[in-house]
Structure 1
Amino acid sequence: MNTNTMSPADVAAHAAASYVRRPRTVLHRVPAGNPHGSWPADQFAAERRAEGVPARVVMSMREDAFLVVVEGGDES
């Protein structure tokens, strides 16, 4: 679809429906092959949450690692 022929409403709907990953900051990486699995990443994230940082653990298939991330900031 050519964006030059789309109405402003169509452009807005297209942008809203497109997957765009929010920027995130990676605080910690744990290799997926770690003998303890994701536990070290989960523990690190829990410690950050106790400090008031909204950290969470995600799995990066590309990096083959568990990442502790916070939304916003520069993506690492």
Structure 2
Amino acid sequence: MRHTVLERFPAGGPRGHWPAEEFAHERRNEGLAAEVVMDLESDAFLVVIAPPRQETAD
């Protein structure tokens, strides 16, 4: 499953601030299923959404 990256945030943000979490929260308020994941290779937090699930016929 591929995710769409909405935004990237450096891991070394100011103390007490969580810009990736705040951005994801705003997107969830807009109806998107946004979540924050860590990209270890780039040392960044990514706000991602999963693609819509395909309904399967039974």
TM-score in terms of structure 1 length? 0.62
* Paired position in structure 2 for 1:59: 38
CA RMSD of aligned residues (A): 1.9
State percent identity of aligned pairs: 56
What corresponds to 1:44 in structure 2? 23
- Asked whether 1:68 is paired with 2:44, we answer no
Residue of structure 2 equivalent to 1:30: 9
The structural deviation recorded for 1:38 is 6.8
Runs of 5+ unmatched residues, structure 1: 1-21
> Retained in 2: the 8 A contact 1:30–1:38?
no
TM-score, normalised via structure 2 length:
0.79
Aligned length: 52
Cα deviation code 1:11-50 (max 9, x no counterpart): xxxxxxxxxxx20100010001122477100000000000
Higher helix share: 1
Q: Which is bigger in relative contact order (C-alpha 8 A, separation at least 6)?
A: 2
Gaps of 5+ in 2: 53-58
SS of the aligned residue for 1:67 comes to strand
